[in-house]
Each structure stands twice: as C-alpha cells, then as structure tokens.
Amino acid sequence: MSGVLDIERSLTGQPWEWRYRGGDDLARDLVDQLLLARGVAEGDLPRERDPRIRDFLPDPSVFADMDKAAARLADAIEKGEKLAIFGDYDVDGATSGALLTLLLRRLGVEPMLYIPDRLLEGYGPSADALVGLKQQGADLVVTVDCGAQGFEALEAAAEAGLDVIVCDHHQCASRLPVAHALINPNRLDESEEGAAHGHLAAVGMAFLLGVALLRELRARGHFTEARPEPQLIDLLDLVALGTVADVARLRTLNRAFVTQGLKVMGKGANLGLVALARAARLNRAPVARDLGFALGPRINAGGRVGQADLGVRLLTTTDPAEAEAIAIELDRLNEERRAIEMLVTEQAAEQAERQADAPVIVVAGEGWHPGVVGIVASRIKERHHKPAFVVALDENGVGKGSGRSISGVDLGAAVLAAKDEGLLVAGGGHAMAAGITVAPGAIDGFASYLGQRLQEDVAQAREGRRLLIDALLAPGGVAGELCDQIERAGPYGAGWPAPRVAVGPVRLLRTGIVGQHHVRAVACGEDGRSFKTIAFRAADTALGQAILSASPDARFWLAGTVRRDEWTGGNAAELHLEDIAAA
C-alpha cells in the first residue's frame, strides 16, 4: 500500500493509505477504480457493475441436504400436510420467515408462524415450542435463522414424530443436531462450492431453498395453467433487507440480492415495507444504507423491547390498516429501544474504560435489558477497536449476552470453543457476532478464556489498522455529482465498504454538538468552497474534541464518506467524518 499525503499517523493513530494502488490514476473510470479496490478481478468488472441474480446464483443442489429439504417440502404441499415456520426474532429471522410464508401462500399453503419471545424463551427452538407445534397439528417445521445448535429441541421434536428442516447460516459444531434436513453453508462437512457461500444471511439461504422447492415442484409437473408457478424474484426486497440488516458481507451473490432487491422494494409491492418506510420518514426510494439504519432497527425493535412477531406480521400482512398500525408501533418501540440503549451504553462504557488493556472487553450489569446488549456491544467495539461482549444479568445471576468483533477475529468460533470447555450454558454465532448464556459467577472465567484465546488475533488485527482512502478531493469536490458516481459502484455495506475520501486543506468553523453527541462543523477550503461535516457519537472522543477545539486558522485534511445533504437538498453534499490530520 502506498501512503496518502504522507500521513503516517493521524489523530486516531492510523496511517492513511490508498485502498487501490491505482487510486490516483485519472485515466481509469472512478467506478472501475472502486470495484477494483474492493477485490474485483479485471474480467469481472462488467458483471460487478450491474450485479444480477443469474450471474451469481449457485445451483442449490451444491448445499448439503438442500434437495432432501426441497423434496420433503414438496411432499408436504402435495399431501396437504400442516407446515410451520419457526423464525428468530431479529430482522434476518423475520425476513426469512416472511419469505417462506409468502412463497407457501402462493403455493396454496398457509403455514403456522412461531417467533420465540427473546426474554421468556431466548434464542432458537426449544423442546416445548416444537412439541407444542406438533400438538397443534404441524407435520413439518422449517426453522429459519436458528436451529444449528438446537440439539435438545430437535431431539424432542424427533421423539414427538415431528419432521424439522433447519435453514440456518450460523456456525456449526462438528456434531449436527437431529433433523430431517440441515441446510447451512457453514456446516463443517459442507461441499467446497457450498462453503464458498458461507457469507449468506439466513434469508439468502431461505431464498435458495425456495429456488430448490420450485424446481422440485416443476419437475413433478405441479404447475399448470390454472396453478402457475410463483415468481420468487418478487420477494427479493425481503432478501435485501435481511442481508443488509444482518451485516452479511455484500459480495458476489449478496451484492446481487441487495441490488435487485432494492429495485423490487422501490416498486412498493410489500404493504408492510411501504408502511414502515413511511413511519421512518423516508420520502424517497430506499437505498442500502436505509435498510441497516432506518428499516432494520425498527423491525428489530419488536424482538428487542416489544412483541417478537411484529416484524414478520408486518412483512406478511395483506391489510393496509394492519400494516400501518404495526409500522407505527414498531417506530414507537424503536424510540423506546433507543432510550434504553443510551442508559445501558453509558453504564457499560464506564466498565469498558477499566478494561482498556484487555484483548476482549466483557462487561455485565444487573437490570440491563437483554434486547439492547448487541447494539451496546457494537458501540463499545467501535470506541475501543477490539471485540466486546455486553451481558445482561437477571435476578438469579444468569447472563444473556451479545458480542461484536473486529475484522480478523473470529468470535463465533471462540464462543463455540468456550461452550465445549463448559464455560457457557449456550452460545453460537458467526465471525463478527455471537450470543451467549452464562451461568451465575462464570463471566470472569469466560472473559479470561476469551482473552487468552484471542489475544494474538486481536493484537494482529489492531496492529494492522490503517485508514484506506479511495480518492483525494479539493473542497469543491464534495458535491452531489460525486455521490451519484459513487453509488454506481454500490451497494455498500459489510465487506464492501463505502468509498472513503480525503479532502483538504480546510479550516473548521462553526463547530458544535448536535443530536446524540454528534459533532458538526463547516469545512472551508482555500478555494473558497465549503461543505458541512459531521462526526457521529464523537463528542467525548479524541476526534470530537479535536474538532471542537480547532483553531480557526489551523489547516486540516479530513477523511470520511461523502453523502448527499438531504436537509439542504439540491446538489449539496456533506462529509461523514472519520479521521483528521494536520495539513
């Protein structure tokens, strides 16, 4: 990597380097530069410029148990058996459950839906829930976004004579639970081609199960002029939402899912999504960022602090009045969630400061709401640049926690190893996020184990920190036209980072704190051009303090992402600030 502006140590202690060595090659199209910088091979540029499903979709049969699951579902449909969908309470679970529900409806089947309560039942299928579904008449249950670690529950289901298909993406142990079929690209015995799709969210796997099911029914001659084949492509809006909200890496097939899903979403066919966008005050067609920051959190709010099944009900309703009512309730719950989150974050951050030297931060508190611990863990991870677990303790001392990791540190594997060592009651997840249940008094032992296991990985990841820059701009370059060009190389998200630019030299004027500890300023260039900039949640950080105390005569280089200024409108743009360096 070559340096940018000879900045070897910025305010945050990082060197600035080009993400793409040809980043300053003006002969190259900007979109090509951005694609190449994200690892696209030269020959793949055409299909990556316009990612389509058909260019990236694998044959579903490459996944273990996929054909077996499709055949069992087809049998159930043709025999008129009672089907049930058991989903997780987050966005990935809600979209997965909604996708299969809507597909089955189009096939003439109305499935039962079961979403467990986060506080009362916890994550994943329980024996009571599955056996209860059997007693209510279910012949076949499909679990979505859960089940890979549901050993006891699936054994109880088998003993009760209930067939279960697991459609999941979380990391698996070497031993698999008993199930009629277990579809998961992260099975340790998965084929090489199937394992290459281990970055898919559960909703992506549910879509592939839908593809396999329709193919199986088609081969059986199930579809006729009077019973036409459903168009699965119409449900890509759900796939896009679940993929982005679950922070799945936006590469290959996931990029195609989100690109095409946003087009479907823009048509407004899903009443629930239209109502939710209205409740979120989105007055334009959603973009990828809206899925993660506006729509996703509101659907999650139901599972975090409200009624767990609100999200899937919203996404499957055909009643406009019901859609409106649920969307308004989810918006209210999201505001409640934010207030709870702020309180827990404040208390957790105090504990985290005392663990500044630990490889992995593990904080716990009585009375913390289990529904917000994942969000708070993300906040602490971002602040300290190391993996973090936040654990809510109940009145008996049992802890329910969530962890978030940094690139290069596999948290899910560490949690599974800790469970094998007897340090956890339950646990699972994937590389960047994990959930745990800890017995009373066991948190210190778990934290010590994590620190020892991950110390070297965390040190290497932190040592390799650097700020990667895609383009160098004069202040006048921060404009709407640049945003339009940048969007052509999207969608952006996990694994496909939004382009970061360096802008300057500028002076920082009219600095201040706005909203929830955000720091704003007006950056003025020597060319007389100016633009707005904002550093989110930075008021009590070194970055925020440097902005607030900046001398009007000091010159800086700024680094961040350029976004359209939706408040000002027109061609205005603003810089979402991540770092600064003296000019």
Predicted confidence at residue 210, as pLDDT, reads 98
Instruction: Compute the average pLDDT of residues 546-574.
Output: 90
Instruction: Compute the average pLDDT of residues 369-378.
Output: 94
pLDDT digits (tens, 9 = 90+) for 208-237: 999 999 999 999 999 999 999 999 999 999
Q: Are residues 484 and 459 in the same domain?
A: no
Is residue 343 included in any domain, yes or no?
no
Give me the CATH number covering residue 436. 3.10.310.30
Q: Are residues 441 and 367 in the same domain?
A: yes
Which of the two residues, 487 and 24, has the higher pLDDT score?
Answer: 487
What are the residues whose beta carbons fall under 8 Å from the beta carbon of 86, sequence distance 6 or more?
A: 114, 115, 116, 125, 129, 130, 133, 141, 142, 143, 144, 146, 147
| Contact between residue 270 and residue 278 where contact means Cβ atoms under 8 Å apart | no
Instruction: Compute the average pLDDT of residues 187-201.
Output: 96
473 DSSP β-pair partners: 503
Q: Are residues 389 and 325 in the same domain?
A: no
What's the structural domain count of the chain? 3
Instruction: Compute the average pLDDT of residues 149-169.
Output: 97
Q: How confident is the model at residue 20 (pLDDT cuts 50, 70, 90)?
A: confident
| Contact between residue 200 and residue 254 where contact means Cβ atoms under 8 Å apart | yes
pLDDT digits (tens, 9 = 90+) for 29-77: 899 999 999 999 999 999 999 999 999 999 999 999 999 999 999 999 9
Q: Are residues 455 and 475 in the same domain?
A: no
Q: Are residues 155 and 126 in the same domain?
A: yes
Instruction: Tell which of 463, 487, 519 closes a domain.
Output: 463
Question: Which of 19-23, 326-330, 402-406 has the least mean pLDDT?
Answer: 19-23
Question: Which of 164-178, 531-545, 568-582 has the least mean pLDDT?
Answer: 568-582
Q: Are residues 406 and 474 in the same domain?
A: no
Residue 28 structural domain: 16-41+470-582
Instruction: Compute the average pLDDT of residues 144-163.
Output: 96
530 DSSP β-pair partners: 524
Query: Is 303's pLDDT higher than 90?
Result: no
Instruction: Tell which of 399, 430, 463 closes a domain.
Output: 463
The 3 state secondary structure assigned to 410-432 is CHHHHHHHHHHCCCCCEEEEECC
Is residue 297 included in any domain, yes or no?
yes
Query: Is 186's pLDDT higher than 80?
Result: yes
Predicted confidence at residue 21, as pLDDT, reads 73
Is residue 361 included in any domain, yes or no?
yes
Instruction: Tell which of 439, 463, 487 closes a domain.
Output: 463
Is residue 479 included in any domain, yes or no?
yes
Percentage, residues of the chain above pLDDT 70: 98
Determine the Cα–Cα distance for residues 93 and 59; give it in Å rounded to an integer. 23
Determine the Cα–Cα distance for residues 156 and 425; give it in Å rounded to an integer. 19
What are the residues whose beta carbons fall under 8 Å from the beta carbon of 398, sequence distance 6 or more?
A: 425, 437, 438, 439, 440
Give me the CATH number covering residue 112. 3.90.1640.30
Is residue 348 included in any domain, yes or no?
no
CA atoms within 13 A on the CB side of 156: 16
| Contact between residue 571 and residue 551 where contact means Cβ atoms under 8 Å apart | no
Instruction: Compute the average pLDDT of residues 89-101.
Output: 97
Closest CA to 279 of 330, 338, 238, 341: 330
Is residue 4 included in any domain, yes or no?
no
Instruction: Compute the average pLDDT of residues 180-196.
Output: 97
Q: Are residues 404 and 324 in the same domain?
A: no
Q: Are residues 153 and 281 in the same domain?
A: yes
Q: How confident is the model at residue 266 (pLDDT cuts 50, 70, 90)?
A: very high
Query: Is 571's pLDDT higher than 80?
Result: no
Predicted confidence at residue 306, as pLDDT, reads 80
Q: Are residues 143 and 275 in the same domain?
A: yes
The CB density around residue 256, as the number of other CB atoms within 10 Å, is 24
Predicted confidence at residue 300, as pLDDT, reads 93
Give me the CATH number covering residue 504. 2.40.50.460
Q: Are residues 305 and 260 in the same domain?
A: yes
Query: Is 358's pLDDT higher than 70?
Result: yes
Q: Are residues 304 and 450 in the same domain?
A: no
Using the 8-state DSSP alphabet, how is residue 371 labeled?
Answer: G
Q: Are residues 403 and 271 in the same domain?
A: no
Which of the two residues, 25 and 282, has the higher pLDDT score?
Answer: 282
Instruction: Compute the average pLDDT of residues 460-474.
Output: 91
Is residue 6 included in any domain, yes or no?
no
Average pLDDT, the chain: 94
Is residue 345 included in any domain, yes or no?
no
Q: How confident is the model at residue 2 (pLDDT cuts 50, 70, 90)?
A: low
Instruction: Compute the average pLDDT of residues 193-202.
Output: 97
